[in-house]
Every structure is written in C-alpha cells, then in structure tokens.
C-alpha cells in the first residue's frame, strides 16, 4: 500500500521580486521587481496578505504545484536575509527559485533570463548570493535603461519611470509575468528561448 506523500515532498516555487519598501519608492525603476510580482499576483488571483520572514508573501496554485511570491520588506541591499529564510522555511530547492530585478544594462522593455550568474554589481543580488552561498539560481533581469546625460546610476534607478516609459510599462510587466510562469511550467530553457531579448 502506497503512502500519501506529504506536502513537504512537493516544495513550492519561490518567485522573488526585488525593490525598496515604502510608498516613496513604489514607482521607481529600482522597484520593477515588485511591479512584476504584483502583475503575477493579479494574474493568478493571489493577494499579498501577510508578512513572513520580513517579506510580503502571496501564495497561489499552478496546476498541481504551488507558488510563493515574495517581496522583501528590507531595503534592496539587504534582500538576502528574507530570501534565505523563505528558502529554508519552504524547503524550496534552488532550481525552483526565481529572482526578478531591474537592470540598467538592458534597454527598457527588454528581458533577460539566466539559470545562474553573478550579481553584475546589483546590490540586491549580491546580498542574496552572499546569504544563500551560491549563484546557481535562476534570475530575470528587467531592462530599465541607462541614465541620460550626467545622471548617476543610483539617481536613475531611484527615479520613477518617465511618462513615455509608463505608457509601455504594462506590456513589460505582462511579458515578465508570462516569462515567470513559463519558467514554472516548462523550465528555464523554454523561458529563455521565448522571452530573452536580442539586445545585449
């Protein structure tokens, strides 16, 4: 007679969006990871209704599997503690972790998914890598473009999207949410093939 498997035998996917907490940062380019998770939650009928491991968390079902969506409440450069804690709590294996964040080296509207890699100077990603002790996990970079003129990169990412960018932002968020679900349903190779932008 077969024993029924416990839910721990089927750990959920953990989808993390990076950003800074607080209303003053809500529309910043640096918070596009949060925005993608809001779009993903809306699409799946999930609600960020509770705080766990210093992150706002929503849960959803996808077929026979589960997804945990998390927005760390720490500031960007301290995101690692929340991610590490959630991984341990849900016993989520690294192959089921996806981190979504902004990238100034990609043009606006571009996406780039990778199965692993370094932080490329992104402080949120650097903190996660240091906390969990590896860079072997999936990530999705959402392009926010380079600063214009003499504006510094920190000032650029801490500004809201421009009016022209805001017009195209819903399309970007929808595309990123679909890419995340492709990762869940079909794996990273399929998501990369379908959604990686050609721009370098």
182: containing domain: 8-195
Average pLDDT over the chain, rounded to an integer: 92
Asked, for residue 106, whether it belongs to a domain, the answer is yes
Task: Give the pLDDT score at 9.
Answer: 62
**CB distance 74 to 21 below 8 Å:** yes
Specify the pairing of strand 97-103 against strand 138-143: parallel
Tens digits of residue pLDDT in 155-178:
999 999 999 999 999 999 999 999
CATH number for the domain spanning 54: value is 3.40.50.1470
pTM (2 d.p.): 0.92
Helix or strand (DSSP H, E) at 171: helix 163-186
Task: Give the pLDDT score at 198.
Answer: 67
**CB distance 73 to 56 below 8 Å:** yes
Asked, for residue 54, whether it belongs to a domain, the answer is yes
Q: What is the DSSP code string of 43-83?
A: HHT----EEETTEEEEEEEETTEEEEEEEESS-GGGTHHHH
Asked, for residue 67, whether it belongs to a domain, the answer is yes
Tens digits of residue pLDDT in 35-70:
999 999 999 999 998 999 999 999 999 988 899 999
Q: Which residues are catalytic?
A: 30
Is residue 97 helix, strand or coil?
strand
- Under the banding of pLDDT at 50, 70 and 90, the label for residue 33 is very high
- Under the banding of pLDDT at 50, 70 and 90, the label for residue 120 is confident
Q: Is the pLDDT of residue 153 over 60?
A: yes
| Region class of 149: left (phi > 0), else alpha (psi between -120 and 50), else beta | left
Tens digits of residue pLDDT in 175-190:
999 999 999 999 999 9
Q: Is the pLDDT of residue 4 over 80?
A: no
Q: At what angle do helices 163-186 and 188-195 cross, to 10 degrees?
A: 150
Task: Give the pLDDT score at 184.
Answer: 96
Task: Give the pLDDT score at 5.
Answer: 40
Number of domains making up the chain:
1
**CB distance 32 to 104 below 8 Å:** no
CB atoms inside a 10 Å sphere around CB 99: 23
Asked, for residue 187, whether it belongs to a domain, the answer is yes
Asked, for residue 200, whether it belongs to a domain, the answer is no
């Amino acid at each position: 007679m077969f024993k029924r498997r416990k839910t721990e035998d089927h750990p959920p996917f953990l989808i993390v969006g990076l950003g800074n907490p607080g209303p003053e940062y809500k529309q910043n380019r640096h918070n596009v990871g949060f925005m993608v998770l809001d779009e993903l939650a809306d699409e799946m009928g999930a609600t960020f209704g509770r705080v766990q491991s210093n992150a706002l968390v929503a849960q959803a079902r996808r077929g026979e599997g589960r997804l945990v969506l998390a927005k760390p409440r720490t500031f960007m450069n301290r995101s690692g503690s929340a991610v590490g804690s959630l991984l341990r709590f849900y016993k989520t294996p690294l192959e089921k972790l996806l981190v979504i964040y902004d990238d100034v080296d990609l043009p606006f509207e571009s996406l780039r998914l990778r199965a692993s890699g370094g932080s490329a100077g992104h402080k949120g990603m650097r903190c996660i890598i240091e906390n969990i002790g590896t860079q072997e996990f999936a990530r999705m970079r959402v392009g926010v473009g380079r600063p214009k003129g003499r504006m510094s990169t920190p000032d650029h990412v801490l500004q809201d999207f421009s009016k022209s960018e805001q017009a195209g932002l819903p399309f970007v968020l929808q595309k990123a949410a679909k890419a995340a679900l492709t990762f869940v349903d079909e794996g990273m190779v399929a998501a990369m093939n379908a959604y990686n932008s050609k721009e370098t």
